[in-house]
Structure 1
Amino acid sequence: MRISSNTLHDQGLSAILRNQAQMLHTQQQVSTGKRILTPADDPVAAAQALDVSQADAMNTQYATNRSAAADSLSLVEGSLAQVSSIITNVRTIAVNVGSGILSDSDRVSLAAQLSSALSELQGAANATDGQGRYLFAGYQSQSQPFSSGPVGVQYNGDDGQRLIQVDSSRQMGVSVSGADVFTRIPGGNGSFVSGDSPGNNGSGLINPGSVIDPSSLTRHNYSINFSVSGGTTTYAVVDSTTNATLLSAQPYSSGDSIRFDGMDIVIEGAPVNGDKFTIAPSGDQSIFKTVQDLIDLLQTPVHAPGDSARLANGLKQGLINLDQALGSVLTQRGVIGAKLNEIDVLQSAGSNRSVQYQKTLSRLQNVDLNVAISDLTQEQLSLQAAQKSFVQISGLSLFTYL
């Protein structure tokens, strides 16, 4: 078989170029530390590495989202802590007024303190985050949620809740509706509200009452009407919704229970003829109205026994409403605390996933440096051998021997 000189040159040169290309590829693997430089190096592993890289990128984004969610929730929790402190201070003032030793001017001074507390409370309800968004406005985060008007402080937001994707299957609310915290608060004991009539002149005091049979509650309005004749005090219980008399001419004794339609009411003191007490279904009352009612109560002078009774009854009602408001705030703080704990758990799980993703990528992409350096040395020897053999073969010619 005859082989031309051109064939010898072409094949030798091709072998050298192939060795050079392979050595360059191995050298790039060593310098980058990557086994897969192009998908052609290992199509299956390259596809797997792409999937893992995308999952790792999403995991990193979720971690960023969780940090943002934790920041927002911490701001809300801080504002709610301030609200709790304000309510506690207002309650302390109301308790001090109930001591009965304060004069009208003393109560007016305390009313001024409550006015300041009311302004501070509204300021906390209109708190914003670092980007100027209102924390308690729902979806209306660019608009001030609470504003003062002729009928008191009004809520201008909605019930929406801003959500952040904190994990692949978990969206978390990072805002709180102002209605849930400040306005949607059950009045009275949560089932009904007891109170006195503005026209009372006696010293009768009514307690908040309790439910003894929930199945008997009607959510009707009632009145307890007192009559005094010949030194004997009696009362009648009237269903104001149906105008039906439930109890009539019942003998009254201070501190005795008055029970009807699943409710238990206690009235103390000495009501006079014509005094009346009311029972109404519990409705929502904002914390702003509760504080404003206390301010109005403290600004009202006390001259007669009826005035003292109205003050005491108003303070009782105010205290129970403050307790309801504080309970509402504490409930929201508990919910936020649970969310912050959940974020900590998700962050820990996300960190573990990130480590696993990096291990998987390392296994798929990274080169074994010991093997690669050994291959590079072997390829260098092969290239040198190919170059030397090319020189020898390319020098073969018949003319050399003539």
Structure 2
Amino acid sequence: MRVSTSQFYLQSAQNMAARNTDVHKQATYIDSGKRVLTAKDDAVSYSSLAGYKEGINQISQYTRNITLSTGSNQQTETAFEVTQDVLLNVKSRFIQANNGSLSDDDRQSLATQMKQYLEQVLDIANSKDETGGFIFSGHQIDKQPFALQADRSVIYQGDSGINQLAISNSVVVNMNQSGDEAFVKIANAVGDFSPEYNTNNGSATVTRAVVADRGSYDVATFPPGYTLDFTDADNNGQLEVVVTDSAANPVSTIDPFVPGQPFTFNGVEVTIEGTPEVGDQFGLGEDEDVSIFETLKAAIEWLETDSTAANTSQHQIDYGHILSQINSAASHISAQQGIMGVNLQLIVSQESQHLDTNLSLEKGRSSIEDLDFYQAATTLEQSKVALEAAQLTFSKIQGLSLLNYI
């Protein structure tokens, strides 16, 4: 068999190139710390590795969302906590004000404090997050949600939008609470209507007024608000209640009226405590929600009405309504704070699951991808020895000729 010089050089060059490639390949593994770099290294392992990495990257995104949602919910929860503290002070001062021994100056001083409480709640409701966005304006984060008017009323300028973030494949969490849900939509302590005492010589009180039967509540035929006139048309010493709607159309006549006993008209159920007098007239305005700002405004106005109030009995009735509404506002804010607490518990639970899942995925990834440095170093040395042997063999053989054997 004849071996040409060109064939010898070609085979030697290919052999040394292959050995050199082995050395560089092993060095690349050691530099990267990874056993599988491309599909050529191990097609099956590389495919499994892609799945592990996709899961890890997904959890990483969810973890970022968890960080954002945790911060938002904690800030909102704190806002409700501070609001609750303010309402406790409001209630304490308002109860303090219902003391006959206080002077008008004392009540004016309490009214000044109440104005400060209104401003505090307004500041809380207009809180911003770390990015400068308003946290209670719904989707309109660049728009101040609440604006104080000249008459101390407060209007809501945001929307009812709720921002959400996914914290897992199947779980989303609210990032905020809209301002109307947080501070405006507070249940009316009386029910679905607010009483207005046009004449109340008998010092009676509307304690409950609700739409008890929605199917019978015909606002087209009998539009709210309603007027309740107390009469004794039969002159029998028993009161009747004549109910008319906002268009002065007769709705119903309750005969007889029994104090403390509920009566109904047009699907509405009303309870009045105390004994009205003939000629008394109450109004019922449809008012399902009473904002926290309306309640604070009413408290301020009550305090600013001094001891010369035209009807001291009515003044006390108004006091009872306002105090009930303060309690309703406190309960509402407490419930909103609880919602934020539930969100945070959900976030913590999901974060714990992600930590466990991520640990499992990292173990799977590591078992496929991470390099055994001892084995890699041994393989590298073997590759170097093979390369050196190929180089030495080539250098010795290329200098030989037939004359060396003659």
TM score, norm. by length of structure 2: 0.85
Query: Given the superposition, is the C-alpha separation of residues 309 and 376 from structure 1 closer, same or farther in structure 2, using an over 3 Å criterion?
Result: same
After superposition, where does 1:2-401 map in structure 2 within 5 Å?
Answer: 2-150=2-150, 152-197=153-198, 199-202=199-202, 204-209=203-208, 218=217, 221=226, 223=228, 225=230, 234-241=238-245, 242-248=249-255, 250=257, 256-261=259-264, 263=269, 265-268=271-274, 271-303=276-308, 307-401=311-405
Q: Secondary structure of the residue that 1:144 maps to in structure 2?
A: coil
Q: Note the C-alpha offset of 1:316.
A: 1.1
Q: Once the two structures are superposed, what CA deviation does each residue of 1:53-77 show, in whole Å capped at 9, x if it has no partner? A: 3432232122122111111111111
Q: Structure 1: how far apart are the matches of 2:166 and 2:357?
A: 17
Q: Which runs of 5+ in 1 are unaligned?
A: none
- Check whether the contact 1:206–1:313 (CA below 8 A) recurs between aligned residues: yes
Q: Once the two structures are superposed, what CA deviation does each residue of 1:188-212 show, in whole Å capped at 9, x if it has no partner? A: 3334444533x3344x141523779
1:275 alignment partner AA:
D
Q: Structure 2: how far apart are the matches of 1:283 and 1:371?
A: 76
Identity of aligned pairs, percent?
Answer: 25
Query: Given the superposition, is the C-alpha separation of residues 218 and 104 from structure 1 closer, same or farther in structure 2, using an over 3 Å criterion?
Result: farther
Q: Secondary structure of the residue that 1:296 maps to in structure 2?
A: helix
Q: Structure 2: how far apart are the matches of 1:284 and 1:37?
A: 64
Q: Structure 1: how far apart are the matches of 2:217 and 2:5?
A: 113
- Check whether the contact 1:188–1:282 (CA below 8 A) recurs between aligned residues: no
Query: Given the superposition, is the C-alpha separation of residues 213 and 388 from structure 1 closer, same or farther in structure 2, using an over 3 Å criterion?
Result: closer
Q: Secondary structure of the residue that 1:208 maps to in structure 2?
A: strand
1:380 alignment partner AA:
K
Moved more, 36-45 or 182-191: 36-45
- Check whether the contact 1:52–1:361 (CA below 8 A) recurs between aligned residues: yes
1:167 alignment partner AA:
S
- Check whether the contact 1:236–1:248 (CA below 8 A) recurs between aligned residues: yes
2:318 alignment partner AA:
G
Q: Secondary structure of the residue that 2:239 maps to in structure 1?
A: strand
Q: Structure 2: how far apart are the matches of 1:331 and 1:243?
A: 40
Q: Secondary structure of the residue that 2:166 maps to in structure 1?
A: strand
1:267 alignment partner AA:
E
Q: Note the C-alpha offset of 1:222.
A: 5.0
Q: Structure 1: how far apart are the matches of 2:233 and 2:93?
A: 36
TM score, norm. by length of structure 1: 0.86
- Check whether the contact 1:208–1:316 (CA below 8 A) recurs between aligned residues: no
Q: Note the C-alpha offset of 1:280.
A: 4.7
- Check whether the contact 1:222–1:279 (CA below 8 A) recurs between aligned residues: yes
Q: Note the C-alpha offset of 1:109.
A: 2.4
Q: Secondary structure of the residue that 1:35 maps to in structure 2?
A: coil
Q: Once the two structures are superposed, what CA deviation does each residue of 1:90-133 show, in whole Å capped at 9, x if it has no partner? A: 22222223344434333222222211111111111111112211
2:181 alignment partner AA:
D
Q: CA RMSD in A?
A: 3.0
Runs of 4+ in 1 over 6 A off after TM superposition: 210-213
Query: Given the superposition, is the C-alpha separation of residues 235 and 30 from structure 1 closer, same or farther in structure 2, using an over 3 Å criterion?
Result: same
Q: Which runs of 5+ in 2 are unaligned?
A: 219-223
Q: Structure 2: how far apart are the matches of 1:108 and 1:370?
A: 84
2:197 alignment partner AA:
D
